[in-house]
Amino acid sequence: MRTTTAPETVADLIARQWGEHRPGLMYEDDAERHVLTRHRTAQEAAARAALLVDLMPPGAEPHLGVLLDNTPEFPFWLGAAALAGAAVAGINPTRRGPELARDILHTDCRILVTERAHLPLLRGLDLPGVRILVTGTEEYEALLAPYAAAKPGEAALRTPGPDSRLLLYFTSGSTGAPKAAICSQGRLAAAGAALARQFTVTPDDVHYICMPLFHGNAVIADWLPALVGGAPVALRRRFSASAFLDDVRAYGATYFTYVGRAIQYLLATEPRPDDRSHPLRLGFGTEAGAVDAARFAERFGVRLVEGYGATEGGASVQRTPDTPPGALGRAGAGDDLAVIDPATGAECPPAVLDPDGRLLNGSAAIGELVNRGRSLFEGYWRNPGAEADRTRDGWYWTGDLFFRDEAGYLYFAGRTDDRLRVDSENLAAAVIENILARWEGAAAVAVYAVPDEVAGDQVMAALALREGAAFDPAAFAAFLSLQQDLGTKMAPRYVRVVTAMPTTATNKIHRVSLRREGFHCDDPVWHRTPAGCYRPLDEAALAALLATYEAQGRSGLLRRPGTPPARNDRPGAGDAGDAEAASGT
């Protein structure tokens, strides 16, 4: 470990780079790779901090929006905000129109830093009082030039301290307007130091940042521990599964982070004889799933560590060496975590697991993870209603489903929005997904609810197939019959075979779009008969199904053909083979 004391602020971390001429930042521009020293990165941050002080209108909230891909300008402006006592709102480039304008204006950004590639997103938007800086232009370089000699600590809007706001990071917003979580410099610096200790980060490491910097994962779990440990970071403009190993080898990367389905995209690439020839030692992230984590380790020889810690900071789960497979760990220091049934407020009973770790009492054991003790949650920007909901009854409600075994280890079971109720039994989508992921033909799996014809929900699954695989309904039904932990209500009533899984900007499967379409889609859909066989949902079968909904007065719950999804529910681009455009909690 490079440092022995935890920094109080991120500004401290930036300033400590001054005078250090070891590599600090690596990136590719016009097919040419560049290396900047740690001193140079601090110098660039200091120049932008001084510019920020002069450009920010008097009396304005010290907030700037950053609408950039993973270019060097993004960490420069993160560092600048830290030094200036300002806050960065990471703006998601997959948002569009009024929703994009809303994100910028909601966070009171008076300055927006963007690049030429994203200017079309801003055309026609009403952004009163927002000054737009376009990186890479002559005007931008002319603005920066007078501040080239600035040093850390010379200019600030507010003196940076542990309580200073640094990030206003949006939640995913898949079920409504995104909430901007407040992250202070002290909490972020402490989180970076904790991860640097946990993973023994040293200057000999290289942190590969391929997840988007507008998302908390890349900043908190990748950029910050590198700053603490003195490791350089290597930037990938947008995540690319096909270029992943080439980048890792070129940069000498030893560590990376992931979210959502990034691991599935990597596993879906064509295997190569040199898949294990690289310097990577560790991947850290969320939602890879036990099956894919094992496949990744077997193919690439890299251990994946699953972690849990919301950007909001309200709860964390700490992995220990004795954590069993599939579990995330136990409660973090000072936390009092419990799995609660939201309907009753009572703690759920412990999970019953078979010798293979398969959950046998999911309906009773799965509940919402709640922190009944100390919480580091710092609130949402200008959203008291969301804050109150998150902290109701004096507890911090994570919005995530978990179950807990007899020894106290916690297992992730999905989002509360991903709970299904089938024949009066509560099910968690993530649990069913983990089972379906064992099917050898699946490259990616998404499970979600569609309305039952009479009451409650039915299980629908979207499957993206591995290259060369085909959906064999008899083989799939036979596979399901052999899964001992697949409860009687869990088998999918409907199976949609997709060529490309819709994803959000953070590589998470976009379930909102899948739920909205249901079985009204252009992809082939199969439905399960009472005998357990899968048959095509052809025109005759669909007509009969819709007639049943009509007879039960539930047809209004279905989206009709030709009705487009709401604008902010449109998925980002991406597919199981390469998520070039899907890059992006």
Percent of the chain exceeding pLDDT 90 equals 66
> Contact at 8 Å (CB) between 183 and 32?
no
> What distance, in Å, lies between the first and last C-alpha atoms of the chain?
29
Tell me: the pLDDT tens digits for 330-341? 887 677 999 999
The tokens describing 181, both together, are 């979580």
Q: For the chain, percent helix, then strand, then coil, each to nearest 5?
A: 30, 25, 45
> What is the number of alpha carbons within 13 Å of residue 22 lying toward its C-beta?
13
Would you say how long the chain is, in residues?
Answer: 585
Which domains are present in the chain? 10-18+36-184 (3.40.50.980), 329-418 (2.30.38.10), 422-569 (3.30.300.30)
Alpha carbons 10 and 160: distance in angstroms, whole number:
9
Alpha carbons 147 and 140: distance in angstroms, whole number:
12
Beta strands in 59-202 (DSSP E): 63-67, 87-90, 111-115, 131-135, 165-170, 180-184
Per-residue pLDDT at 176: 55
* Spatial CB neighbours of 364, under 8 Å, sequence gap ≥ 6: 348, 349
Q: How far is CA 566 from the centre of its chain?
A: 22
DSSP 3-state of 425: strand
Alpha carbons 158 and 155: distance in angstroms, whole number:
9
* Residue type, position 460, single letter: M
DSSP 3-state of 254: coil
- Range scoring the smallest mean pLDDT among 164-178, 388-402, 570-584: 570-584
Select the more confidently predicted residue: 112 or 292.
Answer: 112
The pair phi, psi for residue 113, each rounded to 5°, is -100, 125
> Contact at 8 Å (CB) between 83 and 152?
yes
Nearest to 348 by CA among 416, 401, 424, 422: 401
Nearest to 254 by CA among 219, 284, 224: 284
Tell me: the pLDDT tens digits for 4-33? 455 699 999 999 999 999 999 999 998 899
- Range scoring the smallest mean pLDDT among 127-131, 248-252, 317-321, 382-386: 317-321
Residue range 100-119: mean pLDDT, rounded: 97
Bridge partners (DSSP) listed for residue 461: 447, 495
Tell me: the pLDDT tens digits for 26-64? 999 988 999 999 999 999 999 999 999 999 999 999 999
Residue 129: pLDDT band with limits 50, 70, 90: very high
Alpha carbons 513 and 462: distance in angstroms, whole number:
11
Alpha carbons 228 and 193: distance in angstroms, whole number:
6
Tell me: the pLDDT tens digits for 525-575? 999 998 889 999 999 999 999 998 888 777 777 765 444 433 333 333 222
Residue 230: pLDDT band with limits 50, 70, 90: very high
Alpha carbons 497 and 22: distance in angstroms, whole number:
50
Select the more confidently predicted residue: 156 or 325.
Answer: 156
